[in-house]
Structure 1
Amino acid sequence: MKPLKRMTKQRKIILDVLQSTTCHPTADWIYEQARKELPDISLGTIYRNLQHLVQEEEIQELNYGSTFRRFDGNTGLHYHFVCRSCGQVMDVDMPVLRDLNGEAAQVVGGLVEDHRLEFYGICRSCLDKNQGIEEKKECLT
């Protein structure tokens, strides 16, 4: 069992921001939202606390390369869809394939404890626009 870590005011606000949205925001977006509660909070504080919350498994970090880090307040096992056109990241509402862990374990000959799965393609909004380009969603900037 992990020792309990102190939940600072800044950490609590960041966690609340993440748990109140489903848009998988960037640190910059979280910073803008947190400033509504704590105007003097710094971007460095946001980054430090995000890393702490990831290490404590309070949130998930979705890392899609050096320029594409997003955060998710939902720590339960679930899948994501990433739009290659607008960059939106969304949860995929489908059952988690728990048997996949066992199948992978047989192939690798070891213990598979968890898995992460992302789907990539073009979201409905981009398809509907017929040109494949959508203005960035509010939480992507």
Structure 2
Amino acid sequence: MKYSRQRELVLAEVKSSREHPTADMVYAALKADNPSLSLGTVYRNLNLLAQMGQIHKIGMPEGSDRFDGRTDEHYHMLCQKCGRVYDVQLDTLSELDGQIQSQTGFLVHSHDLIVRGVCRACQQ
């Protein structure tokens, strides 16, 4: 694939963020230092990077997709009060794919889990 400076900027922004940003958040973070950057370019590059496996796209049923620089196996928690998305490691689900295949014959390629609730900060 041909090198793109804008793609590298988008990738670096997602990888450095712990916010699991939306496309709008990535655009806002990069626009001041990159005035020629368009929101459409950010969307295209985020989706391309996700297709290439360099970032993870988190489909949010009740809002804009979020993007994660972590591509290892992990899950997400969504605070329904502040809207933040947090990473969570759930070792108890590490055998889920094998259990599904052994019980049903269904070969799992991937899965996403979003746990909804209220984060510690919002509970106080």
User: Normalised by the size of structure 1, how large is the TM-score?
Assistant: 0.80
User: How big is the shift at 1:107?
Assistant: 2.8
Return the match for 2:72 from 76, 91, 96: 76
Q: When the two structures are superposed, what TM-score results if normalisation uses the length of structure 2?
A: 0.90
Give unmatched runs, 5+ long, in structure 2: none
Residue of 83, 95, 98 corresponding to 2:94: 98
| Deviating 4+ runs (over 6 angstroms) | none
- Structure showing the higher helix proportion among its residues: 2
Percent identity of paired positions between Structure 1 and Structure 2: 39
Across the aligned residues of Structure 1 and Structure 2, the Cα RMSD in angstroms comes to 1.7
- Which residue of structure 2 aligns with residue 87 of structure 1? 83
Query: Counterpart of 2:61 in 1: which secondary structure?
Result: coil
- The Cα of 1:86 is off from its aligned counterpart by 1.5
User: Is 1:29–2:25 an aligned residue pair?
Assistant: yes
Q: CA deviation at 1:111?
A: 1.7
2:44 & 2:111 partners in 1: Cα distance?
A: 26
Q: Residues 1-141 of structure 1 correspond to what in structure 2 (within 5 A)?
A: 5-65=1-61, 67-95=63-91, 97-128=93-124
- Checking the alignment, whether the CA contact within 8 Å between 1:61 and 1:70 is kept in structure 2 is yes
Matched positions, count: 124
Bigger Cα displacement from structure 2, 11-20 vs 113-122:
113-122
